[in-house]
Amino acid sequence: MVKIFDSTLRDGEQAPGNTMSLEQKLAIALQLEKLGIDTIEAGFPESSDEDRNAISRIAEMIENTKICAFARSKEEDIDKAGNSLEKAKYGQIEILGSGSDINLKYKRRMTVEDGLKDSRNSIKYAITMFPKLEISFAMEDSSRGDINYLADLTKTAVDSGAKVIVLTDTVGYTYPTQFSKLVRSIKQVIPDSVSLSVHCHNDLGLAVANTLAGIENGATEAQVTLGGIGERCGNAQLEALVMALYLHPELGKTSVNTSLFYETSQLLKGILNRDFAYETPIVGKNAFTTEAGMHQHGILKNSVVYQAFNPKIVGRKQEFYLGRHSGKYGFEYKLKELGIIPSDQEVVNIMETAKKKGEFSDKDLIKIAGEAKNE
């Protein structure tokens, strides 16, 4: 099984324009539990009182899903994260350490030795202060890190008590073959009792591909967000990743209820007051909509011709958009949907008249059909 770790309420929410209220975050968390997500990253407690309160409320309300709070490798961060999870039935603190020379030098002003010491101390502190919580250790900017340092950092984290190691493509830099090599290397230095997770960003449009590469090479958990929302170009998209695994079960199965994808996306859209790009996989407006006559004809014969899976699996339905690229079969199908049963010649006449208008609505189509019947 591949565990699904959802970061919509942390990485997704911290992107510009995505701030949510406590009530909104709780609504998303409850929906994520309903969806079958294994771990919900509920926020970053150090960032605000609002985040701390929301995490505490989510931890109190969620019954079966693990709740994670994010922390930097600082004692004050860890304290706030642990305290916010006091009422969690299953709780986790994810501690962020530096995984690359770039991160160490320019962000943390640390040497490699400092980085190892800082990570060791923060993990041991978290375990001492919050022994009931699982500790996850994420190595920021892993994809640009030196493999020997990353191996040493991983061993240090595991020896210090971390139960999850997270490899990250923080700036969306890597590509699948390169990321595969990294995951294989780190997999070799952790025991089977420790989970290996991957967190990929989408700056080059490769987040889902890199996440799948990680899973194929030993990762047992994928960190994702609804609709792929997140910093800059976003994160690996939950829906696309899960459906890729659905179609390729040899890579691993998940516990996610895919039939709730559209329902969940509509909830998120309403809360954020924004739409996804029309071409967004699974949840975008055009994901199961086609205009081209060739595609409409093929789908009418058998949807498998132009669909990798039935839209019903993700709570959607097939849609035909009629326009100048559509053909007779698409028009005939749409007219029948509207309760109009035309002859073959009437279909042709209606199609030709409609196309001359350019854009036309169902109301226009009914009117055109009525006029064709009266000719």
At residue 47, the pLDDT reads 96
At residue 373, the pLDDT reads 66
Would you say 200 and 168 are in contact if contact means Cβ atoms under 8 Å apart?
yes
Amino acid at residue number 148: N
Taking the C-alpha atoms of residue 224 and residue 232, their distance in angstroms, rounded to an integer, is 15
Architecture of domain 3-272 in this structure = Alpha-Beta Barrel (3.20)
Q: How far is CA 107 from CA 16, 65, 111, 171, 260, in A?
A: 21, 33, 11, 14, 40
Q: How far is CA 221 from CA 130, 310, 333, 365, in A?
A: 23, 26, 43, 49
Taking the C-alpha atoms of residue 212 and residue 277, their distance in angstroms, rounded to an integer, is 22
Nearest CA among 180, 176, 177, 170 for reference residue 201: 170
What are the DSSP E strand ranges found in the chain?
3-6, 39-43, 66-72, 91-98, 134-140, 164-169, 195-200, 221-224, 289-290, 319-320
Find the largest Cα–Cα distance for the chain.
86
At residue 374, the pLDDT reads 59
Give me the residue spans of the domains in the chain.
Answer: 3-272, 289-374
Taking the C-alpha atoms of residue 317 and residue 276, their distance in angstroms, rounded to an integer, is 17
Query: What string of H, E and C letters represents the secondary structure of 164-205?
Result: EEEEEECCCCCCHHHHHHHHHHHHCCCCCCCEEEEEEECCCC
Provide DSSP, 246-283. Answer: HH-GGG------GGGHHHHHHHHHHHHT----TT-TTT
At residue 368, the pLDDT reads 87
CA angle in degrees (0–180, nearest 5) for 339-345-347 = 35
> For strand 195-200 and strand 221-224, is the pairing parallel, antiparallel, or unpaired?
parallel
CA dihedral (69, 75, 79, 80) in degrees, to 10, reads: -60
At residue 372, the pLDDT reads 72
Per-residue pLDDT of the chain (375 residues; tens, 9 = 90+): 999 999 999 999 999 999 999 999 999 999 999 999 999 999 999 999 999 999 999 999 999 999 999 999 999 999 999 999 999 999 999 999 999 999 999 999 999 999 999 999 999 999 999 999 999 999 999 999 999 999 999 999 999 999 999 999 999 999 999 999 999 999 999 999 999 999 999 999 999 999 999 999 999 999 999 999 999 999 999 999 999 999 999 999 999 999 999 999 999 999 999 999 999 999 999 999 998 989 999 999 998 999 999 999 999 999 888 888 998 999 998 899 889 898 889 888 888 888 888 778 889 888 988 887 655
At residue 358, the pLDDT reads 79
Residue listed under structure tokens 């053909």: 327
